[in-house]
A and B are shown apart, each in its own frame.
Chain A
Amino acid sequence: MLESDESQPNQEALDRYHVIDGDCHYMESFHDVAEYMEEPWKTKFEESNFDEKGAKQNLSSFFPFSTGDRQAHGKITREHSSYPDEPETPERIREGMESIGVDETLLISHLILAGAGTTADDDRQSAFAKAYVEYMQEEVLDPDDGIHGLAPIPYGDVDASLEILDRIEGEEEYVGACFVTAGATPPLGNRKYDPLYERCEELGLPAVFHTGGAGLDEYVRAGYQEMLETHTLGFLESNMSQIVSLVVQGVPEKFPDLDIVFMESGITYIPGLITRLDEEYLKRPEEAPLLEKKPGEYIKDFYYGTQPLEISADPEYLEKCFDMVGADSLMYASDYPHWDYDRPTTVTDLPFLSEDEKKQILSGNAQEVFDL
């Protein structure tokens, strides 16, 4: 039997004290707060898809926020998806695929994109990823119907990541491993991640590097004001930093049979990165002694998702970018249902691609890389 501890004040004793809570959270209604805001904030808040409890449950209830309003101030709706208000369902995925004209799809976790920047502890990403792998395999993925999965890799915890790779070995639902490029510290070329690439190579699973919004507010520095700034720069930086790290640290030389794919930063950044890195490498090759050729050649060996394709660019410039990266390195990607998704028409409408190149980009390369 517990004895009363006279040193512990009881509830009544607290009445004798004046208490100020330095950290408590009031779940305010954004609708209510918006009434007291000046423009343009009032309208921005009202149209930003927050609900009466504050943040909606789709993204920020488990992982922290990142910059901005994905619905672009209320402008974006998705008739064939539950995004962003409600959980998605397998049926709606097929509906969405059909609506944009997709026959097979590779599903990547939405929530993990935000979780990758989480540094509060080293458990939640792994816990989420493991549960996601089970849930998706059990309830959603259906390779016979063209719905394939990529397993999220919580690379900050190498042991947990290896457990996930062990778990999906031989499972036909999973055709690759997904590494979110945002938030990776040290960057993903570091030798600590070698066992993951070694295992992926052994399993024949491509490593898919996907940029994301984690930590986007302060992706390198704090103080940006708009998502237009952070989304433009942050997504790009997250991919570029990992490409450079992988190449300079020699990952393609260490694991020559590993297919490497980068997603979601368009394609025009690739030629710029190739030329800049090559220019530096010509002056400092001793810093990348594993390389057998110029860094840009490794970068061209990687695969790239096309979305968000810069179709508003000068066609001559865009064509040159396609030439430099190579149609054999590009894969159509939609990013559906996110705000800046691309339909396959972004590829089919390009005037400078041959029919064979369009087929390569729209399915051929993915069939080969993911063994579909």
Chain B
Amino acid sequence: MSTTELIEVKPESEFEEGDRELVDVNGIEVGVLRVNGEFHAVQNRCLHDCGPVAEGQVSRKLVGEFVEPGKRVEKDYDDNEPIISCPWHGWSYDLETGEQLADDDIVLPTFDVVVEDGVVYVDGQQ
């Protein structure tokens, strides 16, 4: 059974695009980010070697499309799939789902972010 356990981050009005804040969620350090207006929260501990993944580069997923034999694979960034990469070794995760881009069996814990009465909270229930 899941119960809501809100941990305060900071007022939404002070949470600007690109900001990130670290909060303690039941002993787990969690990074809260605002990307394209959306809030995301991920564990700040990479599943590879415990690096500070929530402090890493935020970018877009690169996708490829096979058009026809003999032609270059068309590559582009998907604006709808923000990713975050650990600065230690580059392990990258889908910011929304926490899935490692190379292996979706590896999932970085993510947390719901809620805004109540103008304040941003992390839901401590994973």
Contacts and interface: CB of A to CB of B under 8 A. Distances in A.
Given A286-B62, A289-B62, A289-B64, A194 B90 contact: no
Interface string A264-298: 00000000000000000111111001100010000
B66 A286 contact: no
A69 interface: no
A250 B92 contact: no
Given A289-B62, A289-B63, A282 B69 contact: no
B70 A191 contact: yes
B69 A290 contact: no
A282 B103 contact: yes
Interface string B54-73: 00000001111010011111
A36 to B, nearest CB: 55
B101 interface: yes
Contacts of A282: 48, 91, 100, 102-103
B45 to A, nearest CB: 16
A281 B72 contact: no
**Binding site of A, secondary structure by majority: helix, strand, loop or mixed?**
helix
B2 to A, nearest CB: 31
Given A191-B71, A191-B72, A285 B101 contact: yes
Interface in A180-229: 191-192, 194-195, 197-198
A335 interface: no
Interface string A13-26: 00000000000000
Nearest to A286: B62
Given A282-B102, A285-B101, A285-B102, A290 B90 contact: no
Interface of B: 48, 61-64, 66, 69-73, 75, 89-92, 100-103
